[in-house]
Amino acid sequence: MQDIRIKHRWGAIDQENEQIKQAKTKQKDFYPETFSNRDTGKQLLARSRYLLYKAPSNWT
């Protein structure tokens, strides 16, 4: 499970880097897509590490 999360996180990092590069070539500012909690996909994948190992009875 951890390996899959890491692969998706690296994919999100690569995608964001590509979007930043494209914005620079167009001389525009880059604003990553955020969710309702103001986290980006990359941040959510980084923070989900311990959530994956938490028992459902301990979820808040």
Q: Tell me if residue 40 falls in helix, strand or coil.
A: strand
pLDDT tens for 5-37 read 899 999 999 999 999 999 999 999 999 999 999
| Interatomic CA distance for residues 1 and 26, integer angstroms | 38
> What residue spans of 1-60 are helical by DSSP H?
2-25, 41-47
pLDDT tens for 40-59 read 989 988 888 887 778 888 87
